[in-house]
Amino acid sequence: MARKVKLVSHITVGHFFETHGESLKLEPINSSDGFNRKINEPSLNRPGLALAGYIDHFAYMRVQVLGNSEVEFLNKIDSEIRRERIRTICKTDIPCIVISRDARVHQDMLDICEEFRISLFRTPLNTMRFINSATFHLEHDFAPTTTAHGCMLDFRGIGVLIKGKSGSGKSETAIGLVERGGALIADDHVKIRNVNGKLTAFTDDFSRGFIEMRGIGIINVTNIYGLGSIRPDATLDIIVNLRPYSDLNEVDRVGITRETDKVLGVDVPIVDIPVAPGRDTARLVAVTALDLQLRRLGYDMAAEFNNRLSEKLANTTPPSPFTTHY
């Protein structure tokens, strides 16, 4: 199924600070003139070699992080060499510089960053903790995303995307799963991102917890079912298509083989469930989710039945064509 994919080529330093500054405990220590600079890669770099004079292969497109080693090195070298080395890396169009462990920033660093309009931040986090946390945030910022029309829920740890034509009963099924202990992630407009091969579904903050019910209107799921009835995101584990009952003959009845749908390059299992008056669709989707959970634990109900049937046929002696029956 073709989907429009959004790829992120860069984010600005200002966006990085506004979005993640609080969790990373970033404190700006110069002007905001460099907030328009671009971060072009989701990785970070420690410029120790560049500050020592080796500038070849310098990862200038990344956020530069100075820990205790880099700061102490700059404090101990000759002042003229220090200014030259700092100016050299600043000339390469780096996005910004972060000083970890609340280390004291040398005046030369402040002056040269102001000269080149490069944002300088300080954080109390130790160097590796900051790098790990910032990398996690940047990977989410740069992750390719797409959208899907449907209802996304987490049911007992399985992320289920319910799809179907308008009026097929997606919202009613979603509410039925919420009443069985599920949590609503998104209704109608589901966003999906791929971070290192893992698909995560979410929605915009303003619409989280709301769902449209035909004949009733927009309802706030949290107000009716409590805080446990919603979640900000969930892993996309399976797609359930609600299909008209007239398509019954086209639907797999055994479940030995599972079709998949490729979402952002990742194969996601897909199951078709016929919808008809009187069928408890929410219960069928719940059973589908629990079946997937069992498969992940190594137990395949359809495969077990198929093996039993094969053993039964293998152990059954066919009647002789010369046997006379009276």
By annotation, the residues acting in catalysis are 170, 188, 253
For residue 54, the Cα-to-chain-centroid distance in whole angstroms is: 37
DSSP 115-171: HTT-EEEE-SS-HHHHHHHHHHHHHHHHS-EEEEEEEEEEETTEEEEEEESTTSSHH
Rounded CA gap, 51 and 82, in Å?
8
Q: End-to-end CA distance of the chain, in Å?
A: 61
CB 121 within 8 A of CB 27: yes
Alpha carbons within 13 A on the beta-carbon side of 280: 9
- Give the contacts of 62 (CB within 8 A, at least 6 positions apart): 39, 40, 41, 43, 44, 45, 94, 95
